[in-house]
Amino acid sequence: MAVRQPPVIWAQRESFLFVTIEIDDVKIEDLTADSSKLHF
């Protein structure tokens, strides 16, 4: 089975990074973010 990659949209400003990840039909029990990774 091929790995599907969700659409990702990002916008960067001087002090901020905005990231939108479109995932459907997913229940996220645990979400952890650090300076370089997003785990769920």
**In terms of DSSP bridges, do strands 38-39 and 17-21 run parallel, antiparallel, or are they unpaired?**
unpaired
HSE-CB for 32 with a 13 A CA cutoff: 2
Structure tokens at 26: 């997913």
Domain boundaries, the chain: 8-39
The pTM is what? 0.51
pLDDT tens digit sequence for 1-38: 788 888 999 999 999 989 998 888 878 889 898 888 88
| Three-state secondary structure call for residue 39 | strand
